[in-house]
A and B are shown apart, each in its own frame.
Chain A
Amino acid sequence: MATLTYKDRSFQGQESETILDCLIRNGEKIPHSCKSGICQSCVMKTNDPVDLVSQKGLKPTKKEAGLFYTCQQSLNKDFEVFDSHESGPPIDGEIISQQRVSSSVVILKIQLDSPLEYKAGQFVNVFRTDQLCRSYSLASVSNNQIIELHVRKVPEGSMSNWLYDSNLLGQKITLSGPVGECYLTQDMENDDLLLIGVGTGLAPLYGIVHEAIANGFKGKITLFHGGLRLESLYLVEELKNLEQTHSQFNYFPVYLLGESKEGFLQGDLVELLKKHEFDLKNTTVMVCGDPDMVKKLKQTVFLKGVSSKKIFSDAFVSNKKV
């Protein structure tokens, strides 16, 4: 069996165990969340060679520095690992607003003690004082010291239930990040934007819409927000108002199940996208939300003819059961 060394301690690995699991089993407090190699909260450092999958999506400079996802690396040989100080220092903050906008979604505003450099559309890892950690998207515009997060309450979700149910005004909370590839860059400025969000996949796109408008973005901005039922949609009024006041912005709320209602599209988001006409050459597409839907939606716009270089996405993975 392989040996794992961390802070002068050595642990014996078990059959098909990941480095993260081995550390946790031995009582080490390692931040982690998605266990899918996406949220980057469990990143550590090693000088030993790692599998490709455990560095997927990391920037080349980070790869070279030996950073890797401990949740993706199986302990298939001896490893020595170190804490990574590269993922940015944690930042403390306080919850100053907690607004339940639907039966399952709460919008939190957090005042940060120090500035966090981020782009609208990225996400952060949120730590509770007991080190429980989850990733949530930033719905606020870039580099704001009051950040906004949209949290969907999931069944048995320890963090999301706490954030939704408890009265948390004044609660201290710690963040790290930012992470994620859906944000505006300069080379998009002559494009139109097609934004497709499923569930709380709206959050990053909501931030991007506001940022694009605030920055004087010239192109068309089209936002599809899909949910299972009418009740799953939120911020509908705000977005409809925004649509009224900004002619460049078009908003399509879509739900799958239930009876049709004026002002909404009812049906399968993928099928609607197949029929949606837009400038295939000059449109940047961003897709956020549930991983299976993200995969399908990306493929749909790609097959329509959008260049793969103009398709960006962040898939939201809920915490896998240990």
Chain B
Amino acid sequence: MSSLFENIGGEKAVDAAVDIFYRKVLADDRISHFFDDVDMEDQIAKQKSFLTMAFGGPVNYSGLNMKEGHKHLVARGLNDSHVDAVIELLGGTLKELNVPAELISQVAGIAESVRGQVLGRQG
């Protein structure tokens, strides 16, 4: 049986999704302020590892874990509503790329599974 990552289209899908997804994030008033002052190249690299993870691909987050990586954002008020927004935009991105609804819900499930870590509620 092939994996979710393969079904979605692997690295190519990540490449196709990253610009669309990041553009949505920057244009969304609910969350754009967390990203405003970040260097674009850095951020795109991070978005790529996030998408790879969410698509069920090989996890190679560079150095920091989810909790450490978002600590400074939690201090700036990152909460459940922002995670909701990100998951929503992720879904919108995949829809735009004509990914079947069933795979989108699997991706949302994976993103959902790291919510606690991102918000610093669990290690």
Spell out A's residues near B (CB within 8 Å).
52, 56, 295, 298-299, 302-303, 305, 307-308, 311
Contact = CB atoms under 8 A, between A and B. Distances in A.
Given A295-B39, A298-B40, A303 B27 contact: yes
Given A52-B62, A308-B19, A299 B37 contact: no
Contact of A295 (B37, B62, B63): B37
A295 B40 contact: yes
Interface string B18-43: 11001100110000000001011110
A303 B40 contact: no
B40 A307 contact: no
A307 B44 CA distance: 11
Interface in B87-108: none
A308 B14 CA distance: 13
A56 B18 CA distance: 20
A302 B47 CA distance: 15
16 contacts: A295-B37, A295-B39, A295-B40, A298-B40, A299-B26, A299-B40, A302-B19, A302-B26, A303-B23, A303-B26, A307-B19, A308-B18, A308-B19, A308-B22, A308-B40, A311-B40
A302 B26 CA distance: 10
Contacts of A311: 40
A299 B26 CA distance: 8
Nearest to B35: A299
A62 to B, nearest CB: 17
Contacts of B44: 308
A299 B63 CA distance: 26
A311 B18 CA distance: 14
A52 B19 contact: no
Contacts of B23: 302-303, 305
Contacts of A295: 37, 39-40
Contacts of B22: 302, 308
Contacts of A52: 62-63
B44 to A, nearest CB: 5
Contacts of B26: 299, 302-303
Interface residues of B, number: 14
A298 B43 CA distance: 13
The residue among A52, A56, A303, A308 with the most chain B CB atoms within 10 A of its own CB is A308
Contacts of B41: 308
A242 B83 CA distance: 51
A295 B26 CA distance: 13
In order of increasing CB-CB distance, the 5 nearest A-B pairs are: A298-B40, A308-B44, A308-B19, A52-B63, A307-B19
A283 to B, nearest CB: 14
A299 B18 CA distance: 14
A123 to B, nearest CB: 18
B64 to A, nearest CB: 9
Nearest to B45: A56
Nearest to A307: B19
Nearest to A291: B39
A56 B44 CA distance: 14
B99 to A, nearest CB: 20
A52 B19 CA distance: 24
B25 to A, nearest CB: 11
A302 B32 CA distance: 14
A308 B19 CA distance: 7
A56 B43 CA distance: 13
B28 to A, nearest CB: 11
A299 B22 CA distance: 10
A299 B43 CA distance: 11
Nearest to B44: A308
Contacts of A303: 23, 26-27
B37 to A, nearest CB: 7
Nearest to A304: B23
A302 B42 CA distance: 14
Nearest to B23: A303
A56 B46 CA distance: 13
Contacts of A302: 19, 22-23, 26, 40
Contacts of A299: 26, 40
